[in-house]
């Protein structure tokens, strides 16, 4: 990590900047994003072919216009009354027919290519969303939600633009350029060759643009992420912002990142502003050369005026799609930078992968064992060689000071992480051999972070078990003591909890989270500080309920308040990643060791 | 979602833009350059067919090769000028509109930041995000391309029409007649597209909300293994959006096909009528070719009309969506005649306070009275959901009372400058809110520069010494929502933030719920010294923290039902005992 600029100081230093990469990997990135694009296009290859055919029809119709006009001039129109009116009318009728075909093919093509684009976009959305959800928690800790949001919204949006308008103009342009080149050469080979002389210049200009715009658009993508992350976070924490008068500072930071986003955009706009007119200029130069050379040929009597006229008109049609192509190329470069990012996410693989051949557990009893489990988080050892067997149905309390490794043990049981060494088993089967969906049904964690989704209270409860009946849902809420306050809400279970459940107090949210977990009916339930926000009567009610609810379940309870530990069959005292005491609460209490002193401290805190 | 209904209006997106055009004012110089370059590029583009015509009609027809070179030189010169003009036009329209977009987004963000907390409670953040990013970009695109093409199309039409008129007025008239259906087609299209565009953008916002919730709630989704459920919600929404997008595609395909048909049709008319004129000798072949070039010049702006129309509709809906936010006035703001308070002794009085959430009939607090002497620490006790946190939020005006008054040193808090009021109050929320920024930034937040000694003192009070051990000390970024810190560590950081700068009033909402018992005892010890001479409102669930309080207020049914010391209330108040007594039998019901 290099020294940070003063303007960046507020962000602080972090060990990994996922977004930064050296220019040398740019080639790899491009390859990766091309692969993604190809895999997206594959299902639509026949439809794309049909779109190509429609384009050919449309272009043939469109391109025959100057030809027909030329024909009309050469055969129908002679100055001074010597024209052939019949020939002119024939040409006009042919033209009208051609125009109708052109319009019809145009409509059909736009419709079809629009559909392909939208379908491909939907595929990409599905694919990406599913993939991101599959990724492990360690990914989310590294990648941050703001960045994920940015990938799934603004990067996909950049691609939408490419698919919505870009594809149409690109295919049209390529077909037009190829067809017109053929027509030009057919009309007059000599003039055609003059036209082709401009091509190397066009290619050189394009190469320059590609190189620079790729860099500029990467800068745009990098900048928008900062804007989105700051926006989402600071508005999400608006209470703290107001309470601590951070509005001006936030505004400063926002204007800084937003300004960087603007500058990156101005840069890429400047490049596009050079590239587009550059192509036009090359077209003008070519026209001039053609006029000079063609004029010479006409004077020499080797070319008719009509052919030269048609040629000049065709040249116009040659460079107009070239300009479209340059527009498309611009959109493509913008989308390309987004695609690189998306491809990057797609290449992430879950660090907690689903087993290829999962072991079927059938009826899960719920015994959990740690066999020589060691775990290091970002190279920092958290747990050392833990040996532990939790028989099915046991209620185990984990106690210890902050940072002792309690939460890590809980997360290992839920397989949010895999151990660095050793193994964990459920009913004797290695967790890594159990399909993740089966494991999640069996093991549920309730944390103090009682996140609620937008929607009604009922919907949030049913998140635990979507197929549960309303009676089961109410029973779960009643058992935990949440029914009374839910019923008192304006619409009872159908009350909208608003954004992140702000409608409820934090204790109420925790009760809902609790009920949600019970509705899920897991064999193994992990409660990680799950009662921290409850008042004592609610906590007592929860504890009371736990006695019945935890019967015939395995439970692991982490709590700072030892009142929750009272219902445990067994207590494990952790210190710095090692088990230092293990036994029934009463025994440990008597022994007067670590647990004894913790218990004393807790009792004193009650006084 | 509030304010979903909207007024029907038949104006173009142009009018919806009125509000945003002032944002272009600072860049009027750039716009002027753009305007000149625009005219220049149009003139150059129009001159080129004219020169070509003269080369064909002059040197080539008359076999005067010698005269061709200077004219070709002229063509190249005009071509170069055209290049410069187009570059300037594009570059400066881009710069002006991007600057405008940035300013608009800055203001939008600033406005949102100043909106009251209750506003944010009611809006899905995904909807706010899609407004700030994609809707503002839509407005910018219309300003930079749409508006420009709108003007360019009009100018092109006018110029080309004049040129055609000078060449042959009858042909020009014929072209105009061919173009007349544009008006009708445009009207039908915009009426249809308006509806589609609005739905598209709302659905986009809803999709963003799902994404946002997935990204922030991923632990819960994973804990329950509900990936498929969330995926299904997302896909349903994405499919809706796809269907709407497809409707848009179809509408655009229709209008574009029709609109490109018209100039081509007029080309045919020109060929027929112009051909007759040439035969009759009233028009030269070069003239006819030039005329046709002009008609070709119309093809492209016509093509653009369909595009510009759809863009203008998108812009209109985008600005409507922006207006929904921009028209929301901050309900908590400085009143006229608000004053600042230099010093504050910390006397607090809640006088007949009533509170309900906006749009709700349910009183959270009603007829609540409580006064707190300077230097006194009062604990707020009540059942889960009794309104303790809400009451605490009234003091720094995160919410405003619906009736009654909150007084600080005898002054209604609404009569004080917000910044002044909040500068006297330190708040620690139960759910510590940390931002993806350095520890230092998270502690200082918006306050004036704090010296290192004070920073150290605050960190010590909150027992947050772990921050020194972080890899880069105070410069370490605490990951998003403090992911890299434990719950207890985050709470201690939030507590350090609250006591930093020695505010005269502290509002601590169950600030130690996630801290282990040992640390809690140590923090309480140091907090006790901090609380001396400071007025504090302490929301508590546990007896342990109550040791810090001089007095306790019991809240029930939205009002203070009893005050007194912990010991007194334990003796005299049944509800209080039920709430705080460890020994209280679980079988006993809490008295209603």
pLDDT at B69 over 50: yes
Q: What's the pLDDT score for residue B489?
A: 84
Q: What's the pLDDT score for residue A2?
A: 40
Phi/psi at B246 (nearest 5 deg)? -65, -40
For residue A496, the 8-state DSSP code is B
pLDDT at A278 over 80: yes
Q: Does the pTM exceed 0.80? A: yes
CB B354 within 8 A of CB B401: yes
Quick one: which of B305, B310, B327, B308 has its CA closest to B200?
B310
Pairing of the two strands A570-575 and A395-399: parallel
Q: What's the pLDDT score for residue B209?
A: 86
Whether A235 and B258 lie within 8 Å, measured CB to CB? no
Pairing of the two strands A570-575 and B365-372: unpaired
Alpha-carbon distance of B461 to B458, in angstroms, equals: 5
In the block, residue with structure tokens 């939008």? B108
CB A437 within 8 A of CB A411: no
| Per-residue CA distances from B253 to A111, A164, A482 (Å) | 6, 11, 55
In the block, residue with structure tokens 């790899």? A28
Number of domains in chain B: 2
pLDDT tier for residue A381 given thresholds of 50, 70 and 90: confident
The pLDDT tens digits for A217-275 are 989 988 998 898 889 888 888 888 888 888 888 999 999 999 999 999 999 999 999 99
User: What's B542's domain CATH number?
Assistant: 3.40.50.300
Residues in chain B: 592
Average pLDDT over residues A202-209: 90
Q: Are residues B287 and B431 part of one domain? A: no
CB A458 within 8 A of CB A473: yes
Whether B279 and A78 lie within 8 Å, measured CB to CB? yes
Q: Is B462 helix (H, G, I), strand (E, B) or coil?
A: coil
Q: Which residues pair with A388 in a beta bridge?
A: A370
pLDDT tier for residue B554 given thresholds of 50, 70 and 90: very high
Alpha-carbon distance of B14 to B11, in angstroms, equals: 7
The CATH label, of 3.30.565.10, 3.40.980.10, 3.40.50.300, 3.40.50.1950, for the domain at A368-606 is 3.40.50.300
Q: What's the pLDDT score for residue B591?
A: 43
Alpha-carbon distance of A52 to A173, in angstroms, equals: 12
Secondary-structure breakdown of chain A: helix, strand, coil percentages, each rounded to the nearest 5: 70, 10, 20
Q: Are residues B437 and B294 part of one domain? A: no
Token pair for residue B155?
């100018």
Asked if residue B367 is part of any domain, the answer here is no
Q: Is B97 helix (H, G, I), strand (E, B) or coil?
A: helix
Alpha-carbon distance of B236 to B220, in angstroms, equals: 21
Is B246 an 8 Å CB contact of chain A? yes
Cβ contacts of A107 on chain B, cutoff 8 Å: 253-254, 257
What's domain A29-347's superfamily in CATH? ABC transporter type 1, transmembrane domain (1.20.1560.10)
Alpha-carbon distance of A554 to A394, in angstroms, equals: 5
The pLDDT tens digits for A93-119 are 998 999 999 999 989 998 998 899 899
Q: What's the pLDDT score for residue A291?
A: 87
| Residue-number span of the structural domain to which B553 is assigned | 374-397+416-580
Mind spelling out the 3-state secondary structure of B207-267? HHHHHHHHHHCHHHHHHHCCHHHHHHHHHHHHHHHHHHHHHHHHHHHHHHHHHHHHHHHHH
Could you tell me how far CA A561 lies from the centroid of its own chain? 40
B residues 535-574 near A, CB within 8 Å? 541-544, 547
pLDDT at B436 over 70: yes
Alpha-carbon distance of B237 to B217, in angstroms, equals: 18
Whether A69 and B209 lie within 8 Å, measured CB to CB? no
Give the DSSP letter string of A60-75: HHHHHHHHHHHHIIII
Alpha-carbon distance of A129 to B237, in angstroms, equals: 12
Q: Which has the higher per-residue pLDDT, A192 or B11?
A: A192
Q: Are residues B385 and B321 part of one domain? A: no
pLDDT at B481 over 50: no
Whether B285 and A153 lie within 8 Å, measured CB to CB? no
Nearest Cα residue in chain A from B204: A153
Phi/psi at A313 (nearest 5 deg)? -65, -40
Q: Is A352 helix (H, G, I), strand (E, B) or coil?
A: coil
Nearest Cα residue in chain A from B422: A243
Alpha-carbon distance of B327 to A358, in angstroms, equals: 56
Alpha-carbon distance of B442 to A377, in angstroms, equals: 24
Give the DSSP letter string of A95-147: HHHHHHHHHHHHHHHHHHHHHHHHHHHHHHHHHHHHHHHHS-HHHHHHH-HHH
* CA distance, residue A34 to nearest chain B CA (Å): 24
Give the DSSP letter string of A192-238: HHHHHTTHHHHHHHHHHHHHHHHHHHHHHHHHHHHHHHHHHHHHHTH
Handedness of CA A330, A335, A340, A341 (dihedral sign): positive
The gap between the terminal CA atoms of chain B, to the nearest Å, is 35
Average pLDDT over residues B145-156: 77
Q: Are residues B438 and B298 part of one domain? A: no
Alpha-carbon distance of A176 to A52, in angstroms, equals: 12
Q: Do domains A29-347 and A368-606 have the same CATH topology?
A: no
Q: Are residues B425 and B317 part of one domain? A: no
The sheet carrying B535-539 orders its strands as B425-428, B505-509, B535-539, B377-382, B551-556, B559-564
* CA distance, residue B466 to nearest chain A CA (Å): 11
Token pair for residue A418?
């895999």
CB B488 within 8 A of CB B515: yes
pLDDT at B1 over 60: no
Asked if residue B334 is part of any domain, the answer here is no
Average pLDDT over residues A483-510: 84
pLDDT at A451 over 90: no
Give the DSSP letter string of A9-56: GGG-B-S--TT---GGGHHHHHHHHHHHHHHHHGGGHHHHHHHHHHHH
Average pLDDT over residues B246-253: 91
Alpha-carbon distance of B371 to B218, in angstroms, equals: 44
Q: What's the pLDDT score for residue B2?
A: 40
Is B448 an 8 Å CB contact of chain A? no
Average pLDDT over residues B150-179: 84
Q: What's the pLDDT score for residue B7?
A: 41
Looking at chain B, the whole-number percentage of residues with pLDDT higher than 70 is 94
CB A583 within 8 A of CB A571: yes
Domain boundaries, chain A: 29-347, 368-606
Average pLDDT over residues A309-323: 79
Asked if residue B355 is part of any domain, the answer here is no
Whether A451 and B267 lie within 8 Å, measured CB to CB? no
Looking at chain A, the whole-number percentage of residues with pLDDT higher than 90 is 24
CB B558 within 8 A of CB B387: yes
Count CB-CB contacts under 10 A for residue A422. Answer: 16
Q: Are residues B242 and B157 part of one domain? A: yes
Phi/psi at B441 (nearest 5 deg)? -65, -40
* CA distance, residue A178 to nearest chain B CA (Å): 20
Query: For B555, how many CA atoms within 13 A lie in the half-sphere containing its CB?
Result: 31
Q: Is B335 helix (H, G, I), strand (E, B) or coil?
A: coil
pLDDT at A26 over 70: no
Whether B122 and A498 lie within 8 Å, measured CB to CB? yes
Alpha-carbon distance of B272 to B469, in angstroms, equals: 87
**Closest Cβ–Cβ partner in A69, A440, A605 for B224:** A440
Sequence-distant (6+) residues with CB within 8 A of A560 are A529, A532, B488, B514, B515, B516, B517, B520
Sequence-distant (6+) residues with CB within 8 A of B363 are B354, B355, B356, B402, B558
pLDDT at A19 over 50: no
The pLDDT tens digits for B42-53 are 889 878 888 888
Whether A533 and B209 lie within 8 Å, measured CB to CB? no
Q: Which has the higher per-residue pLDDT, A585 or B564?
A: B564
Whether A79 and B296 lie within 8 Å, measured CB to CB? no
Of A8-12, A179-183, A377-381, B117-121, least confident by mean pLDDT is A8-12
For an interface test with A, the pick among B211, B310, B421, B476 (most A C-beta atoms closer than 10 Å) comes out as: B211
Alpha-carbon distance of B463 to A402, in angstroms, equals: 12
Asked if residue B315 is part of any domain, the answer here is yes
* CA distance, residue A313 to nearest chain B CA (Å): 8
pLDDT at A549 over 90: no
Mind spelling out the 3-state secondary structure of B390-420? HHHHHCCCCCCCCEEEEEECCEEHHHECHHH
The gap between the terminal CA atoms of chain A, to the nearest Å, is 50
């Amino acid at each position: 990590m290099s020294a940070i600029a003063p303007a960046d100081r507020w962000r602080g230093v972090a060990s990994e900047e996922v977004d930064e990469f050296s220019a040398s990997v740019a080639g790899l990135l491009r390859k990766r994003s091309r692969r993604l694009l190809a895999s997206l296009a594959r299902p639509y290859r026949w439809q794309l072919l049909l779109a190509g055919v429609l384009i050919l029809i449309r272009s043939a119709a469109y391109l025959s216009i100057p030809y027909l006009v030329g024909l009309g001039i050469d055969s129908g129109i002679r100055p001074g009354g010597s024209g052939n009116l019949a020939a002119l009318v024939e040409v006009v009728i042919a033209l009208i027919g051609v125009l109708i075909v052109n319009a019809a093919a145009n409509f059909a093509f736009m419709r079809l290519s629009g559909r392909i684009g939208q379908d491909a976009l939907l595929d990409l959305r599905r694919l990406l969303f599913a993939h991101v959800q599959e990724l492990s928690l360690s990914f989310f800790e590294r990648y941050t939600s703001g960045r994920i949001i940015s990938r799934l919204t603004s990067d996909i949006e950049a691609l939408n633009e490419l698919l919505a308008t870009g594809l149409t103009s690109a295919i049209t342009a390529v077909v037009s350029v190829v067809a017109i080149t053929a027509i030009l050469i057919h009309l007059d080979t000599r003039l055609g060759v003059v036209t082709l002389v401009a091509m190397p210049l066009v290619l050189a200009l394009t190469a320059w643009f590609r190189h620079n715009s790729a860099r500029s658009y990467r800068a745009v993508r990098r900048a928008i992420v900062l804007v989105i992350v700051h926006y989402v976070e600071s508005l999400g924490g608006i209470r703290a912002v107001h309470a601590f008068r951070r509005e001006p500072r936030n505004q400063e930071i926002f204007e800084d990142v937003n300004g960087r986003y603007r500058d990156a955009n101005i840069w890429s706009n400047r490049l596009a502003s050079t590239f587009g007119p550059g192509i036009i200029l090359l077209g003008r130069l070519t026209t001039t050369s053609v006029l000079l050379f063609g004029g010479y040929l006409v004077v020499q009597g080797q070319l008719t005026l009509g052919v030269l006229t048609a040629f000049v008109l065709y040249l116009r049609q040659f460079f107009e799609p070239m300009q479209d192509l340059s527009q498309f190329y611009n959109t493509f470069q913008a989308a390309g930078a987004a695609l690189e990012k998306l491809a990057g996410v797609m290449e992430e693989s879950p660090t907690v992968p689903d087993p290829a051949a999962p072991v079927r557990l059938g009826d899960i009893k719920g015994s959990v064992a740690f066999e020589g489990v060691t775990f290091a988080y970002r190279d920092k050892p958290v747990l050392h060689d833990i040996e532990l067997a939790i028989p099915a149905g046991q209620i185990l309390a984990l106690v210890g000071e902050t940072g002792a490794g309690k939460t890590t043990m809980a997360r290992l049981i839920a397989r949010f992480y895999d151990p660095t060494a050793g193994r964990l088993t459920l009913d004797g089967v290695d967790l890594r051999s159990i399909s993740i969906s089966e494991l999640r049904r069996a093991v549920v964690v309730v944390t103090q972070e009682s996140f609620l989704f937008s929607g009604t209270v009922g919907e949030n409860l049913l998140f635990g078990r979507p197929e549960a009946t309303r009676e089961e849902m109410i029973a779960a809420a009643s058992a935990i003591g949440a029914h009374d306050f839910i019923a008192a809400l304006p619409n009872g279970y159908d009350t909208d909890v608003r954004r992140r459940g702000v409608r409820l107090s934090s204790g109420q949210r925790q009760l809902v989270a609790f009920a949600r977990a019970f509705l899920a009916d897991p064999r193994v339930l992990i409660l990680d500080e799950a009662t921290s926000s409850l008042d004592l009567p609610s906590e007592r009610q929860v504890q009371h309920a736990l006695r019945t609810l935890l019967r015939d379940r395995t439970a692991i309870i982490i709590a700072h308040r030892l009142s929750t530990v009272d219902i445990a069959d067994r207590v494990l005292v952790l210190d710095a990643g090692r088990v230092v005491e293990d036994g029934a609460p009463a025994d440990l209490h008597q022994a007067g060791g670590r647990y004894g002193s913790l218990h004393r401290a807790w009792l004193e805190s009650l006084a | 979602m509030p304010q979903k209904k909207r007024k029907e209006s038949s104006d173009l997106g142009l009018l919806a833009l009125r509000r945003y055009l002032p944002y272009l004012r600072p860049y009027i110089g750039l716009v002027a350059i753009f305007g000149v370059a625009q005219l220049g590029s149009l003139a150059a583009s129009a001159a080129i067919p004219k020169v070509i015509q003269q080369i064909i009609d002059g040197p080539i027809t008359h076999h005067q090769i010698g005269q061709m070179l200077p004219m070709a030189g002229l063509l190249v010169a005009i071509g170069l000028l055209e290049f410069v003009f187009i570059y300037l036009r594009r570059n400066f329209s881009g710069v002006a509109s991007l600057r405008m977009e940035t300013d608009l987004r800055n203001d939008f963000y600033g406005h949102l930041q100043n909106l009251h907390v209750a506003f944010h409670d009611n809006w899905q953040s995904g909807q706010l995000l899609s407004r700030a990013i994609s809707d503002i970009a839509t407005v910018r695109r219309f300003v930079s391309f749409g508006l420009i093409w709108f003007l360019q199309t009009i100018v092109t039409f006018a110029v080309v029409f004049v040129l055609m008129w000078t060449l042959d007025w009858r042909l020009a008239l014929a072209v105009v007649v061919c173009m007349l259906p544009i008006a009708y087609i445009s009207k039908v299209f915009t009426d249809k597209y308006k509806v589609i565009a609005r739905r598209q953008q709302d659905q986009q916002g809803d999709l963003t909300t799902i994404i946002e919730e997935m990204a922030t709630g991923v632990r819960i989704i994973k804990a329950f293994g509900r990936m498929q459920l969330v995926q299904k919600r997302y896909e349903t929404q994405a499919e809706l959006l796809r269907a709407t997008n497809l409707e848009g595609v179809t509408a655009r395909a229709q209008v574009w096909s029709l609109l490109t048909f018209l100039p081509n049709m007029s080309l045919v008319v020109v060929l027929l009528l112009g051909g007759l004129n040439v035969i009759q000798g009233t028009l030269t072949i070069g003239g006819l070719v030039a005329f046709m070039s002009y008609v070709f010049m119309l093809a492209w702006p016509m093509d653009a009309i369909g595009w510009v129309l759809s863009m203008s509709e998108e812009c209109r809906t985008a600005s409507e969506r922006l207006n929904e936010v921009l028209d929301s006035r901050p309900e908590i703001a400085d009143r006229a005649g608000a004053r600042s308070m230099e010093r504050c002794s910390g006397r607090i009085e809640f006088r007949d306070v009533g509170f309900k959430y906006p749009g709700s009939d349910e009183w959270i607090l009603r007829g609540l009275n409580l006064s707190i002497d300077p230097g006194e620490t009062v604990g707020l006790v009540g059942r889960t959901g009794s309104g303790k946190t809400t009451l605490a939020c009234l003091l720094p005006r995160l919410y405003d009372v619906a009736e009654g008054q909150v007084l600080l040193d005898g002054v209604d808090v609404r009569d004080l400058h917000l910044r002044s009021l909040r500068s006297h109050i330190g708040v620690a929320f139960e759910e510590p809110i940390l931002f993806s920024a350095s520890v230092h930034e998270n502690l200082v937040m918006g306050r004036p520069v704090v010296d290192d000694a004070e920073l150290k003192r605050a960190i010590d009070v909150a027992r947050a010494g772990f921050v020194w051990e972080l890899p880069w000390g105070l410069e370490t970024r605490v990951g998003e929502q403090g992911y890299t810190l434990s719950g207890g560590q985050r709470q201690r950081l939030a507590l350090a933030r609250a006591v930093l700068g020695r505010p005269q009033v502290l509002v601590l909402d169950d600030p130690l719920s996630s801290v282990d018992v040992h640390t809690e005892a140590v923090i309480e010890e140091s907090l006790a010294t901090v609380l001396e001479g400071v007025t504090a409102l302490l929301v508590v669930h546990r007896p342990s923290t109550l040791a810090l309080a001089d007095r306790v207020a019991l809240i029930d049914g939205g009002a203070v039902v009893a005050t007194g010391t912990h010991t007194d209330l334990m003796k005299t108040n049944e509800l209080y005992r039920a709430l705080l007594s460890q020994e209280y039998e679980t079988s006993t019901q809490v008295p209603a």
